[in-house]
Amino acid sequence: MQIVLALVIGAAFGATLDRIGATNPNWIIRMLALRNLHLMKTILLAIGTGSILMFGGQMLGLVDVMHMSVKSAYVGVFIGGLLLGGGWAASGYCPGTGVCAAASGRKDALFFIAGGLLGAAAYMVTYDSWKASGLLDGIAGGKVTLGTVPGSKFEGMMALPGDILGIVLGLVFVIVAFVLPDSLVGGGEEVAAA
């Protein structure tokens, strides 16, 4: 049943990504160039709303904090993030939007997916070298959060309660989504559906 639920949620998420334009590389490139911020505003609103609901749900006892997963912080994550951002800007896809774009029939997304799989295979083959370099060693305590969430197994970097911090940051994201103009550069031109 879990796999069926995962497939249904994944399909709904993919359909939503397609509906908001995230599977069209032209929308993403215009967003990254700050010419059309419709997609950025949607992303900020979604992250902010999700944060408010998750941390508010934890405070009300509706969300079990033991399901919270925190990835380790290490230098390689930051290098990987820069590579992902560069690839996202160059191709107009991130891993999720690339798969959704391929599912919606975009053939260029298939090349993006092939490149991602090739990169993952190259990392796998060279993993021992990366591990020996120290780039995969934990920093800042490894698995940490900004604030401590009561009942979780993760340490907080600040004395602030993580639930409150998550709600406040979520509210900031929602506010920014509403006050952000449609464009910071140029006239905020529309993107023709490709």
Nearest to 144 by CA among 129, 155, 130, 134: 155
* Inter-residue contact 20 to 42 (CB < 8 Å): yes
Beta-strand ranges (E) seen in the chain are 144-148, 155-161
Closest alpha carbon to 22 in 49, 40, 4:
40
Q: Is the separation of the CB atoms in 157 and 144 below 8 Å?
A: yes
* Structure token digits, residue 142: 């490894």
Output the six-digit token pair for 141: 């305590």
Residue 126 CB neighbour total at 10 angstroms: 10
Closest by CA position to 102, among listed 89, 90, 116: 116
Residue 185's region, left for phi above 0, alpha for psi from -120 to 50, else beta, is beta
Q: Is 8 exposed, middle or buried (0-12, 13-18, 19+ CB in 10 A)?
A: exposed
pTM: 0.74
Per-residue pLDDT of the chain (194 residues; tens, 9 = 90+): 788 998 898 889 888 888 888 888 888 888 888 999 988 998 899 999 999 998 898 889 888 877 777 777 788 888 888 988 888 888 888 888 899 899 888 999 999 999 989 989 999 999 999 889 888 877 766 677 777 777 677 676 677 777 888 899 999 999 999 999 988 887 555 544 44
